[in-house]
Amino acid sequence: MTNAYDAAYARALDDPDGFWGEAAEALVWTRKWDKVLDDSGAPIYRWFTGGELNTCYNCLDRHVDEGNGARTALIYDSPVTGGTQRKYSYLQLRDEVAKFAGVLAAQGVGKGDRVIIYMPMVPEAAIAMLACARLGAIHSVVFGGFASNELAVRIDDAAPKAIVSATCGIEVNRVLEYMPLLQGAIDLAKHKPDTVIILSRPECAVDLASYGYLDWATEAAKAAPHDCVPVAATDPLYILYTSGTTGEPKGVVRDNGGHAVALKWSMKNVYDADPGDVYWAASDVGWVVGHSYIVYAPLLQGCTTIFYEGKPVGTPDAGAFWRVIADHKVKILFTAPTAFRAIKKEDPNGEFLKKYDMSSFKMLFLAGERTDPPTLDWAEKTLGVPVIDHWWQTETGWAIASNCMGLHRFPVKAGSPTKPCPGWNVQVLNEETHEPVKPGEIGAICVKLPMPPSSLPTLWNADKRFREAYLNEYPGYYKTADAGVFDEDGYISIMARTDDIINVAGHRLSTGGMEEVLAAHPDVAECAVIGVADELKGQLPVGFLVLKAGVTKDAAEIVNEVVQLVRQRIGPVAAFKQATVVPRLPKTRSGKILRGTMQKIADNEQWKMPATIDDPAILDEITSALKDIGYGASRKA
């Protein structure tokens, strides 16, 4: 007997125009589309060409216009500021956004202009994002933990007319001042913004006039509210730079129309969230989860979203998440497995849970990295609710695979995000023949084109690079750069990355980007970075340094210097704390560094001597170096 998931999945592939056209009717359009799926530029596709709408209107104004303005839209909960809590109704949030849109408009920001938002987890971050959407401007949110160099790279690529920031972010035990980082980035960047607007926080007073920056509150007090500006469905809503990039940036573009359609559809069908439900994505606005499921999707659906400025542990204890759920009657929590590993480490028996009323809580969704079976098992037993692992990427904007709880609940299989979501034609391909492999065989996970709405239509100012990075290697497919396997029941498992991206606490970071930083050290001749398994964070980067001939400086001093370099140029988010000096790196005869073999040694996994290695003795040296810093195992042929 066909269930609702099977029916939706089949229809989305067989009749994408009908399926997504029907989903689009749930939004308010100022002009209906001419075509649901436009394949005239294949393999670059567009959704809802000819249509016009405004994303901010659909997130805020429509709920007010439909009589739901008193419903709570956003709850700000900040244990790091002494327990600050603030609630915004849809009417209040609409008015705040309209006012800040007026601030931006007064500074000349309009349709198509870019605005960089460099902010902590405060409601004003959402207000700034939605204000850009209201004007038809394109926002690019940069995670507040990134260093000046990373921010400067994004400034030069996006060429923003304005930057919106705050005086500081707040960590568990310290205040992180943003002004030196921001000014350093502007000094480094070739492009200079016309305007910088700063939210003054009481934890960090700054003389903004000395910088020539504008004060948010002062400007908002005199601003005229601005109406929503209709934009084409195919116009960009935002640019989001993939984490850890250095050098040439990779700006994922999200359109307005397809994005709004898919995200609103996903709220009920994937997460089983209804209007009025309290939905909490415990992430950061700097990441894709923050865009999709802290700001846009919950508001499109008329839910209450939570802005949490804190940590899963330490603010003040391992019961922090349970306290938020109890205080605000959260129905659905979406976070990363690393958060639950941290909670489990501090409170293995779930004692803190007993202090709180969890009766509102119905589901836990995990993403950002593979949910390891021990964490899944602990969460299921501790919470007593469905725990759903789902898989998606910055590029896709929403889940590629999930147990779609609003359609049909499948039995959970540990290590699998269940089945592809409707609209995603996922296939596992042989990397040489590009043919689908048999169930049980590992291969390259690819998505048959066209991808569904909300997937990136291209990269910012880089159509050619978009094709090269995602489309060319497997013609007719989008390359996810993940490797995995389908089982006999159609469940998919994500096994590994096929490129140099590692997952640190749910954050996708480029080892290649870190290698660029290490290679910049004057004493380093050659280097490599691998991701090694870590019980708490999923993976941690470890660097290998080959020093230049004649270097006499102490190796420990050099290691300390490269650790600091990564912190300065990429930021603390990289969690780069370990490196070791080795005499040489293992390579194939063609010169390719054998990072995969090094990673297996570090992770104590079985490995075979690569047939193409140029000198097998080098792996003994790598094994010894890894053991010296607490990793590694004996070689097993």
Position 637 scores a pLDDT of 38
Find all residues with CB under 8 Å of 202, minimum gap 6, and list them. Answer: none
| Domain range summary for the chain, segments of one domain joined by + | 4-310+390-471, 503-628
Confidence check: pLDDT of 50 > 90: yes
pLDDT in tens, 432-477: 899 999 998 888 999 999 999 999 999 999 999 999 999 999 999 9
Position 589 scores a pLDDT of 53
Rounded CA-CA distance 582/486 in Å is: 39
Confidence check: pLDDT of 632 > 80: no
pLDDT-above-70 percentage for the chain? 95
Rounded CA-CA distance 477/470 in Å is: 8
Which SS3 state, helix, strand or coil, does residue 50 take? coil
pLDDT in tens, 220-229: 999 999 999 9
Position 499 scores a pLDDT of 59
Confidence check: pLDDT of 198 > 70: yes
Average pLDDT over residues 619-626: 88
Find all residues with CB under 8 Å of 80, minimum gap 6, and list them. Answer: 170, 171, 172, 309, 310, 315
Dihedrals phi, psi of 298, to nearest 5 degrees: -60, -40
Q: Which of 119, 124, 117, 121 is nearest to 80 (CA)?
A: 121
Q: Which of 406, 390, 477 is nearest to 436 (CA)?
A: 477
pLDDT in tens, 383-437: 999 999 999 999 999 999 999 999 999 999 988 999 999 999 999 999 889 999 9
Q: Which residue has the higher pLDDT, 243 or 414?
A: 414
Position 633 scores a pLDDT of 53
Confidence check: pLDDT of 317 > 90: yes
Q: Which residues of 497-514 are buried (b: 16+ CB within 10 A; e: fewer)?
A: bbebbbbbbbbbbbbbbb
The helix/strand count (H/E) of the chain reads as 21, 31
Q: Which two tokens stand for residue 397?
A: 């904007």
**What band does 526 get if pLDDT is binned at 50, 70 and 90?**
confident
pLDDT-above-90 percentage for the chain? 71
| pLDDT, mean over the chain | 91
Q: Which two tokens stand for residue 587?
A: 């390579």
Q: Which of 123, 394, 75, 83 is nearest to 242 (CA)?
A: 394
Average pLDDT over residues 293-297: 98
Rounded CA-CA distance 505/284 in Å is: 12
Position 504 scores a pLDDT of 77
Q: Which residue has the higher pLDDT, 349 or 71?
A: 71
Average pLDDT over residues 31-53: 96
Q: What is the pTM of this model?
A: 0.85
Rounded CA-CA distance 417/388 in Å is: 7
Position 609 scores a pLDDT of 80
* Correct CATH for 4-310+390-471 of 3.40.50.300, 3.40.50.1000, 3.40.50.12780, 3.40.50.620: 3.40.50.12780
Average pLDDT over residues 43-57: 97
Is the sign of the CA dihedral 490, 496, 498, 504 positive or negative?
Answer: positive
Specify the CATH number of the domain 503-628. Answer: 3.30.300.30
* Residue reference for tokens 């490196």: 579
Q: Which of 533, 500, 502, 508 is nearest to 600 (CA)?
A: 533
- The alpha-carbon radius of gyration of the chain (Å, integer) is 24
The pairing of beta strand 538-547 with beta strand 46-49: unpaired
pLDDT in tens, 256-292: 999 999 999 999 999 999 999 999 999 999 989 999 9
Find all residues with CB under 8 Å of 634, minimum gap 6, and list them. Answer: 623
Q: Which of 258, 257, 255, 297 is nearest to 275 (CA)?
A: 297
Question: Is-contact 626 632, C-beta < 8 A?
Answer: yes
Q: Which residue has the higher pLDDT, 375 or 123?
A: 123
Q: Which of 143, 150, 155 is nearest to 115 (CA)?
A: 155
pLDDT in tens, 547-602: 887 888 999 999 999 999 998 888 887 788 899 999 888 876 545 678 888 888 98
Question: Is-contact 614 588, C-beta < 8 A?
Answer: yes
Position 608 scores a pLDDT of 77
Confidence check: pLDDT of 74 > 80: yes
Rounded CA-CA distance 578/328 in Å is: 40
